Each structure stands twice: as structure tokens, then as C-alpha cells.
Amino acid sequence: MRVNKTLLVGATVTAGSLGWILSSKEKRNQLHNVKEGLVTKFKKRRKEDLPVEKGGNPDPANIEDNSMVSEGAMTSVQYYNEKKQD
């Protein structure tokens, strides 16, 4: 019962706040600008992450990457062998 009351209060406060923000054109514009800024920031961050330089093709000279790839391959082979023996 307490959870329902908390959710009801939260929904009421949210609806009231949203109504207050959307009541004037100036506040709507501010909300729109904030939303656009966040979307732009998120898209920019995603573009910075791409392209992946080594995506699936480790450099043969980089021993650390090669050992990690071989360990990963051996882990899956070991798992398969254990399941096959059971």
C-alpha cells in the first residue's frame, strides 16, 4: 500500500511539474533547447567512439592483444570440450 502511495505522489509531482514547465512558451523553448543539447552531446559522443581502430583484427606485433585473443579462443574450446565429455 505504501508503494502505491509513493508512486501516486511521484506521478502527481511529475505531472504538476511538467504542466508548469509546459504552461509558458519561454519554458517550453528552454526545455526544447536542453533536450536538443543532450541529443547533440550524445550523438557527438557516439561518433567519437567510431570507427574502432582494431575491430576484430589484432596487430601481429602487439603481443598483449594476441595473447588475449588466443586465451579467449582457448576458453571457448575448453568449454566445448568439457560439455562434450559430460
Write down the domain spans for the chain.
1-50, 59-86
pTM for the whole structure = 0.40
Q: What is the pLDDT of residues 73-86, one digit of tens each?
A: 677 777 778 877 87
- Tell me what pLDDT residue 38 has: 92
Q: Are 34 and 41 in contact (CB under 8 A)?
A: no
Q: What is the pLDDT of residues 13-55, one digit of tens each?
A: 999 988 888 888 998 899 899 999 999 988 877 766 666 666 6
C-alpha 74/C-alpha 60 separation (Å) is: 18
Q: Are 21 and 28 in contact (CB under 8 A)?
A: yes
Residues 6+ apart with CB under 8 A from 66: 58, 60
State the angle between helix axes of 2-22 and 25-49 in degrees (0 to 180), rounded to the nearest 10: 110
